[in-house]
Amino acid sequence: MKISREGFKIIAVSGVILLAIWLLIYYMLKANDLTWLIVTLSVLLVIFWFFIISFFRDPRRVRIHDNDLVFSPCDGRVVVTEIVKDDEYFDGEEKMQVSIFMSVTNVHINWFPVSGVVKYFKYHPGKFLVAWHPKSSTDNERTTTVVETNSGIEVLFRQIAGAVARRIVSYVKVDGEAEQNTPFGFIKFGSRIDILLPKDAKLLVEIGDKVVGTQTPIARIGGAEEESLETPAEESLQH
């Protein structure tokens, strides 16, 4: 299993801490003939460490390119599809917002949903409300990125920290090139991404749908109508 570079330090530090806890448990219980308890706690500690490792997994996926489609920038579940007014970049213009919630069991790498040029990037310090809270999009710690596609369409997306996720990583640089379905960042331990699309974008997902980053098209923003693409099997979320 390939591991994201964002996890190396946390995996190493957590491994040392868990080993120290195991040694403490071992020396406290070995004299009391509690071997069964030592074994049980040892197994639980190993399972917990492997959970931390799996959180930073970097799955191998087919990279798809389609300039007319917006792909999901993360694994998770669609929790919002609505028309909103954006004041940060679009001066109050109405946009179609799609929000995807990531649980702690999802892959937390974030991928560019479209190709183009990065026109805007800003980091916002803020609160740590639960990610599904309506005000998390404006009040929580977050980053905002806007990519202008080759056809001149601007797509905005936000990484939003949640109650558990308190570390957002972004590799984005203004005027840099964005390549569809390549990594642009990481959110540690559960959160949400908002995508703002043209108001007339054709949505390909609904609230409650599970989506797979780089694989699930969430909207069509240009080109002729085509047959809908099949969404990868639900199991892909766990790979």
Residues 188, 108: Cα–Cα separation, whole Å: 7
Q: Which helix (H) or strand (E) holds 221?
A: none
Give alpha helix (H) positions in the chain: 8-29, 35-55, 136-139
Q: What is the dihedral of CA 146, 233, 76, 109, to 10 degrees?
A: -60
> Closest Cα partner for 7 from 48, 53, 49?
53
> Closest Cα partner for 3 from 45, 52, 66?
52
Q: Quick check: 61 and 72 in contact, CB under 8 A?
A: no
> Closest Cα partner for 232 from 216, 209, 214?
216
Among 99, 137, 191, 236, the one annotated catalytic: 191
Q: Quick check: 168 and 142 in contact, CB under 8 A?
A: yes
Q: Quick check: 45 and 66 in contact, CB under 8 A?
A: no
Q: Quick check: 217 and 204 in contact, CB under 8 A?
A: yes
Residue linked to tokens 């090139």: 177
Q: How far is CA 190 from the centre of its chain?
A: 8
Q: Is-catalytic flag, 72? A: no
Residues 93, 15: Cα–Cα separation, whole Å: 48
Active site residues: 191
